[in-house]
Amino acid sequence: MPDPVLDSALILPRSEHSISRANISKSALNVLYGLHKAGYEACLVGGGVRDLLLGVTPKDFDIATSASPDQVRATFRNCRLIGRRFRLAHVHYGPEIVEVATYRASHDKAEDEDDARLDGDRILRDNVYGTREEDVIRRDFTVNALYYRIEDFALIDHVGALEDIALRRLRTIGDPEARYREDPVRMLRAVRLAAKLDLSIELATEAPLFELGYLLETVPQSRLFDEAVKLLLSGHGVRSYELLLQYRLLDYLFPLEATQIDPERDRLIRAALANTDQRVATGLPVTPSFLLAVLLWDPLQEAVARQLVRGVSEHEAFFHAQEEVLRMQNDILAVPKRFTLPAAEIWSLQSRLVRRRQPERMLSHPRFRAAYDFLLLRAQGEPDLMPSLDFWTAHQSGATPSPVNEAETDADGSAPRRRRRRRGRRRGAPGATPPPTSVGP
Ligand code: ATP
Ligand code: MG
């Protein structure tokens, strides 16, 4: 493997780059200055520097320093140490948290075997402190490995990152396959960064993505869930979905047999993701529940059909199918109950919306709006649903707030659930067709 680090770092003085303190949060600057004053090297690094150079507003500012976590804690009163695998310092400024990581060496630099045990190719621990030169090569992509040093406002490039930024190109630091094997989540990060920043993935960095999806099976399910949320709910869901399909990675996140995705399923998923992206773009809240309901709708229908073949009632078939699909999903990545419960409600409300009974009760259901939005997306591909959709569109426009605490039994006997009714739930403006919301709770 060629040495990924340049022979000598490229150091751009303040006059030769565009990173300006005016675009860095006050809290991050405070931390940088505080560390520098205490005698340590402190740099802005990672997504913050990358996004500023690409003209995107950073989501957060990550800081790397020569100070150990204990030294960081001693420097700031408002600081807590977190994490077991990586010990990180969190410096709190009201609701804002600035994350500070000590420079770390990669595992093969460890003197003590125990400090960086490897499980096959995977890193279990890499809490070995090191220099900036060592810190740079454990980062995933070149564009994520630029350091903005506060003492002289210089931009430091050890890995040819500036060239990649100029070419809008995503490239791993070191051998791509080895880096994905060390941490398979980097494959999802590649997709997310390419989608979010409209970067092209360099050929050698891209090639293993087609082959190594199965490595995701070894990633803890909660970490996969976090990554899936970032991929699909950060405002670039459609593009991320396309890339996940292209690299055959979607199957490792959802029980979708993506190789056999049919056009209607594809249309539904894209429409939901496009709505979500639009909501994010306009600053509206989004939750995973609605997308989950959409993504698993087809597997649910297939499971219902399998149940019906066994000769059970429709109600029973739905109940078992729902359990089965959510179990399949949770075997792949762990979705917290607070998201699966609303998704299941959106499903069970579908047949009730199609039956068009008890409009007052339906309209006051806490999940009515999400279920309606889902019906709207389905109706765009299934004209048979249009009359039901029109019925609820009309009712929604003219409805008045409904009574609270009303007992209700399910006509379709769907899964038991708690009812929470809200007084005076807001409806769409009279006469208007409400836009889809993508919001679960
Ligand atoms: P964003 O914050 O916009 O989602 P980011 O690249 O800053 O993107 P973070 O999760 O905040 O993502 O990570 C900060 C930095 O830590 C990255 O830029 C990268 O240098 C490094 N990093 C994060 N995850 C990994 C990983 N799995 N392997 C190697 N380095 C990583
Ligand atoms: Mg970040």
- Alpha-carbon distance of 81 to 112, in angstroms, equals 23
Ligand 1 centroid to residue 47 C-alpha, Å: 6
**pLDDT tens digit string along 77-112?**
999 999 876 789 999 999 999 999 999 987 654 444
- Tell me the C-alpha to C-alpha distance, in Å, between residue 20 and each of 10, 11, 23, 234: 19, 16, 6, 25
47 lines ligand 1 (CB under 6 A): yes
Residue 234 has pLDDT above 80, yes or no: yes
Residues contacting residue 381 through CB under 8 Å, at least 6 positions apart: 264, 267, 268
User: How far is Cα 17 from Cα 162, in angstroms, rounded to an integer?
Assistant: 10
Tokens coding 16:
């030769």
**How many angstroms separate the CA atoms of 317 and 305, rounded?**
8
Q: What is the mean pLDDT of residues 370-390?
A: 95
**DSSP character string of 191-242:** HHHHHHHTPEEPHHHHGGGGT-GGGGGGS-HHHHHHHHHHHHSSS-HHHHHH
- The mean pLDDT value for 362-369 works out to 93
Buried/exposed 34-72: b ≥16 CB within 10 Å, e otherwise: bbbeeebbbbbbbbbbbbbbeeeebeebbbbbbbebebb
Cα–Cα distance for residue pair 247/73, rounded to 1 Å: 42
Instruction: Report the topology of domain 1-167.
Output: Beta Polymerase; domain 2 (3.30.460)
Where is average pLDDT lowest: 65-69, 255-259, 410-414? Answer: 410-414
Phi, psi of 432 (to 5 degrees): -90, 145
Q: In the chain, where are the structural domains located?
A: 1-167, 293-397
Among 99-103, 225-229, 398-402, the range scoring the smallest mean pLDDT is 398-402
Q: Residue 3's pLDDT is what?
A: 62
Q: From the CB of residue 214, how many other CB atoms can be counted at a distance below 10 Å? A: 12
pLDDT digits (tens, 9 = 90+) for 132-166: 999 999 999 999 999 999 999 999 999 999 999 99
Q: What is the pLDDT of residue 120?
A: 60
Is residue 331 exposed (0-12), middle (13-18) or buried (19+ Cβ within 10 Å)? exposed
pLDDT band for position 408 (cuts 50, 70, 90): very low
Phi-psi domain of 309 (left: phi exceeds 0; alpha: psi -120 through 50; beta: other): alpha
The whole-number average pLDDT for the span 378-398 is 92
Q: Answer whether 210's CB lies under 8 Å from 176's CB.
A: no
Query: How many angstroms is it from 8 CA to the middle of ligand 2?
Result: 26
Residues annotated catalytic, as ranges = 60, 62, 140
Q: If you search the block for the tokens 């959510």, which residue do you land on?
A: 326
Amino acid at 421: R
What pLDDT digit, counting tens, does each position of 418-433 carry? 434 344 434 333 333 4
Instruction: Calculate mean pLDDT across residues 36-55.
Output: 97
Q: Confidence band (pLDDT; 50, 70, 90) for 7?
A: confident
Ligand 1 atom 9 nearest Cα? 47
The rounded distance, in Å, linking the Cα atoms of 394 and 402 is 16
Which ligand is closest to the CA of 179, given by its number?
1
Q: Which of 28-37, 271-280, 399-408 has the lowest mean pLDDT?
A: 399-408
Structure tokens at 288: 């995973």
Any ligand 1 atom below 6 A from CB of 17: no
Could you tell me if the CB of 177 is within 6 A of ligand 1?
no
- H/E stretch holding 161: helix 161-167
| 370, 289 Cβ separation under 8 angstroms | yes
The fold for domain 293-397 equals: cca-adding enzyme, domain 2 (1.10.3090)
The 10s digit of each residue's pLDDT in 185-208 is: 999 999 999 999 999 999 999 999
In sequence order, the β-bridge partners of residue 102 are: 65
Contact 20, 57 (CB under 8 A): no
- Average pLDDT on 119-128 reads 58
* Structural contact between residues 365 and 387, judged by C-beta atoms closer than 8 angstroms: no
Element (H, E) at 264: helix 263-281
Question: What percent of the chain stands above pLDDT 90?
Answer: 76
Surface-to-core class of residue 93, CB atoms within 10 Å of its CB (0-12 exposed, 13-18 middle, 19+ buried): middle
The pLDDT tens digits of the residues spanning 257-307 come to 766 778 888 999 999 999 999 999 999 999 999 999 999 999 999 999 999
Greater confidence (439 vs 271) lies with 271
Does ligand 1 lie within 6 Å of residue 183's CB atom?
A: yes
Distances (CA, A) of 41 to 32, 90, 100, 130, 146: 9, 17, 12, 12, 14
How far apart are alpha carbons 435 and 373 in whole angstroms? 8
Residue 5 banded pLDDT, cuts 50, 70, 90: confident
What confidence category does residue 71 fall into, taking pLDDT thresholds of 50, 70 and 90? very high
Task: Report which ligand 1 atom has the smallest distance to the Cα of 139.
Answer: 30
Nearest ligand (C-alpha, residue 183): 1
Mean pLDDT of 405-428: 37
